[in-house]
Amino acid sequence: MSSPAFAPAYDEKTGELPQPNLHAQAPAQKRTRCAGRSLVKGLVAVLALLTCLHSLHIVNLHSCWKSHHAASDVSADLCPQASVVVPQKNGELWKSLGKTYDSDAFKARAVEWLGGAVRVPTQSYDKMGPIGEDPRWEVFPPFHDYLLKAFPLVHSTLELTKVNTHGLVYVWKGSDASLKPVLLAAHQDVVPVNPDTVDKWTHPPFSGHFDGERIWGRGSSDDKSGLIGIMSSIESLLERGFQPTRGVVLAFGFDEEVSGLYGARSIGKYLLETYGENAFLLLVDEGGGFANQFGSVVAIPAIAEKGYIDVRVEVTSPGGHSSVPPSHTTIGILSQLLVHFESHPYEASLNRGTPMYMYSQCLAAHTPDLPHKLRKALKKADKSDRALKEAQKELFKSKPFHAMVGTTQAIDLIEGGVKTNALPERAWAVVNHRIATDSSVDAAKEHDTALLKHLAQNFNLSYTAFGEQLTGKDGPAYGTLTISDAWDTALEPAPISPVDAPEYALLSGTIKATYNSYRELEGNDNIIVAPGIMSGNTDTRYYWALTPHIYRYNHANSGNGTALDHGVHTINEYLDADTFYEMIRFFTTLILNADEFNA
């Protein structure tokens, strides 16, 4: 799940953005009239003076007017906004469905669809065994049975292929086979509920309870809302007899929460073999939503993901009885290595062309409450390195923003020793890295290798980094230091999806149309679309070859916070019902708009 990287301050008690004081004491009526006359006289005098100076060629009013418009144009150029995109050929169907989605009957149906899905537990766990051997995979057939019962038209109309037993690929064939289909993705699995925390949930974790405002339970937000939102949209379209011109393909993995090794990886291979490279118009998977930021509503589709590597740091040395200890045990050495890691974090840099730079430019262009100093620096940052550094300094005051920009490191696992009176012969730790979008796995390896080299020499350790022995070749060493890819699962940063492409404009226009229609608004500026990145990785890591237009976005309304505030991956996960209704409208609008898309 992604979250806004840089959020405005708001009242912690009410959760509301600061509002202007509309109830300040008004002056006496007579006083107001006098002040008004004085103001008018002053303005007339200033205008007369400027006109006189202009006639004497001392002041150029035309230049002032042009400068004002030039400043507006600069803001627009920083972050161009697409126009609202609404269905034309299927406009009446879209409007009619919008009315249906507003009805109490449909809302009750939608709540039951999602609540029913939550009531079928589909937990996935780290290091699960192969399908057919590990019984924990058997939670998915009951979920498939639920989908079959809940969405009969989807299953009688679309072609369903089960990939690697539990992966679901639905194909809704379009009438024009020459058009690239749309790919919509979600995942069936949810993170496990810790049995020790069940009594801390407001409602039981798999109850799917609806309290009139929120749908509660594990997966209500991540990511059964996305999967059920897609299915609800298609079932509703089928009930109206809609037949797409452009095909729609659904890809539902079943182990996204544990890296998708059995699910999305198999689905990605299947889709590539079936359709070929660059075969899809665009891909939309779970990801960003929209929130209040600096006086504007900002939607943040993630156009990239950070890379990933877990680095195992292992120290070995001679064992023995703890009554005759060396100066440093393996645990002591490892501890100093880890302190050195944390004392030397990666240096982050906000670079032009990166998604977080684009995001900050959009804030500068379209959010009225962004601090003036920051806005001024960002507007100059495209051409001024000094201004870019000034903007970076201000933006990096936000720890979440800083983390989203650079490569991060977190020591998450550690182990060493087996007995209190035995010197440990081995100790190890794992350092998790999320790699910046403008960096690489190799750069992370090189950084960590160089970081520990002098310490290996100080402790007289033979040093091997990622398969290459660097020290200890010339003589005996006290012990060894080995760093490696802990699980052989290193992942490069995702390709950055273009924001100057018609496909991005299609998505942006759909976001705006959905937002407007749900609130009965008109115009292009009610919601701003700003590209961002995911803080984690999604199933899209296995779909890179299928399309260059990959967007991680599900139109969840985060209000003044983020989607992670809704109990995702912890106790009391929930989704506001209003958010779910709007998500269904978003997927419906996207399918209809894509059906009419002509780049």
What positions carry a catalytic annotation? 189, 256
Adjacent-strand bridge partners of 283:
183, 550
Residue type, position 279, single letter: A
Distance between CA atoms of residues 54 and 25, nearest Å: 41
Structure tokens at 292: 């209040």
Distance between CA atoms of residues 303 and 551, nearest Å: 5
Distance between CA atoms of residues 388 and 377, nearest Å: 7
Distance between CA atoms of residues 524 and 518, nearest Å: 14
- Asked if residue 474 has a cis previous peptide bond (ω within 30° of 0), the answer is no
Residue type, position 142, single letter: P
Distance between CA atoms of residues 445 and 462, nearest Å: 18
Alpha carbon distances (Å) from 439 to 57, 179, 336, 406: 54, 35, 27, 9
Q: 3-state DSSP helix/strand/coil percent for the chain, to nearest 5?
A: 40, 20, 40
Q: Give the HSE-up count for residue 457: Cα atoms under 13 Å, Cβ half-sphere.
A: 8
Residue 541 near residue 264 (C-beta atoms within 8 A): yes
Residue 216 near residue 138 (C-beta atoms within 8 A): no
Q: What is the DSSP letter of 564?
A: G
Residue type, position 39, single letter: L
Residue 571, helix vs strand vs coil: coil
Distance between CA atoms of residues 434 and 259, nearest Å: 14
Neighbour count for residue 98 (Cβ, 10 Å): 16
Nearest Cα to 582, choosing from 175, 321, 289, 319? 289
Adjacent-strand bridge partners of 362:
none
Q: What is the DSSP letter of 136?
A: G
